[in-house]
């Protein structure tokens, strides 16, 4: 008798498991450089900003990505300043050359790992997953905004 295995339905748990598995790989790479996940997200926000950003603007960008506590994002920025990966210039925080180099190094080290994780997945499966994840993100962002408005009242 042959048995067939059906793929588990996508749900919040499956999404979380995939996120934390992939994040664990990245955190292993980041750990070799003494940087946390949130610090990397914060540094990337500064590097990819269209214009120099204030700490509050960077915190808003980080929160848009990870939905975390603003105090944690501020602490990550402080750590990046201490490590000289960001520098204060007037009211703005700017990435240093060392900060840009760190992101490039982490990307280069993570690339072959990411290729092994994502490799071999058919493009149509990636496209379908992308559509579903974009919709889930949009809906969850809407629910979170409603919850935050309700607690402000």
pLDDT of residue 4: 55
* The pTM of the whole model exceeds 0.85: yes
At 2-48, the pLDDT tens digits run: 555 677 888 999 999 999 999 999 999 999 999 999 999 999 999 99
Structural domain spans, the chain:
23-119, 122-153
Structure confidence at residue 10 (pLDDT): 87
**Helix and strand numbers, DSSP H then E, in the chain:** 6, 2
CB-hemisphere CA count at 13 Å for 100? 8
CATH dotted code for 23-119: 1.10.10.10
- For the CA atoms of 115, 116, 120, 126, the dihedral, rounded to the nearest 10 degrees, stands at -60
């Amino acid at each position: 008798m042959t048995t067939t295995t059906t793929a588990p339905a996508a749900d919040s748990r499956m999404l979380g498991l995939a996120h934390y598995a992939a994040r664990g790989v990245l955190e292993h790479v980041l750990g070799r450089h003494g940087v946390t996940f949130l610090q990397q997200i914060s540094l990337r926000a500064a590097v990819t900003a269209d214009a120099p950003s204030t700490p509050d603007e960077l915190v808003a960008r980080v929160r848009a990505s990870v939905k975390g506590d603003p105090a944690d994002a501020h602490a990550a920025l402080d750590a990046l300043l201490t490590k000289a990966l960001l520098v204060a210039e007037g009211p703005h925080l700017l990435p240093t050359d060392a900060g840009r180099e760190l992101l490039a190094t982490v990307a280069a080290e993570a690339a072959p790992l990411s290729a092994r994780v994502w490799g071999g997945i058919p493009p149509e499966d990636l496209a379908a997953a992308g559509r579903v994840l974009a919709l889930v993100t949009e809906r969850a962002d809407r629910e979170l905004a409603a919850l935050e408005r309700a607690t402000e009242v």
